Structure 1
Amino acid sequence: MRPRDERGVAFPSPLVILSIVAVAMAGLAFVATQDSGAPDDRAQTVAQPSASPTPTATPAPAPPKKVKKPAIKRGEIFVEVYNNSGIAGLAGTTAQRASGAGWNVVGSDNWYGTIPSSTVYFPPRLAAAAKALAKDLGISRLQPAVDPMRFDRLTVILTGDAA
């Protein structure tokens, strides 16, 4: 039988007192480690439900970014137009068409030599501009510029197929 106080209430057993003190100490230790600001090194696990997982939609991949080509500033690119056909005035009329499309035509004349078909000649840095000029004039042949052409501009040489 356990001892009782004057009102008849039984004193708790030493085992109950020890349990209460142990729980209180554990609570204090927990609070003290959480307030220290130190990172928690313990591994944390998350319980996974035992049911089969629900399918989740995966986001669609982003479309590839299109690389914008720099805009061709027609008015800043020099163009020379030459006639290599027997058609009088072909270089002049083509030069007017190029100017009308915004190109900076700096001259037109006759070309002496053998050219297989109407061609836009270009220095390497003006390759994109050459494609645009050829499209504007309806010329399908493009070639790198050669001597005696100038390498700071586009050179158009017209043959009979340009008429």
Structure 2
Amino acid sequence: MINLIRCDDRLIHGQCMTRLVQHYFIKNIIVIDEFTATNPAMKYVVEKIAMPGMKNEVYTIDQAAAPIREAVNSKTGTMIVFRFPTIARALFDQVPELPKSLMIGPVQKRDDTITVQDGTYLTRSEIDDLDYLDAKGIEIFFQVVPDMKRIEFKEFKNKIK
């Protein structure tokens, strides 16, 4: 089962990931990242840093649909993680049976980004991708870790209009 779909430009990382794994009962992490999936050394590192009793898998967006469908039908708690909202749009289009919820954590500051919260910045194009998902009934929210304040996408959108 998919317990969490998360956008976080750090992908897999220390304490935050530990807290997410415990909170959402995760045993499997599916990483979707073109660079990591196509770089054998990086892919090896990400797959091998799995915490004891867990499994990390790394795919490109084109490779991800089949393993995600398997995870949807599995009894193993799974998290899907990727760097940018554009990937979320592609995922929800490719695998419509995904749970209708998207958590967005830190996304790096780049040229022409809008601040959502400290550490989370989006481009207009990424906001458009989230609008698209919102219109499809996907619940979208910004939250670094489960015990921090949650900002709903609709609330953020109302502030930037």
TM-score above 0.5, yes or no: no
Higher helix share: 2
Which range, TM-score by smaller chain? under 0.3
Higher strand share: 2
Larger Rg: 1
TM-score of the superposition, structure 2-length normalised?
Answer: 0.22
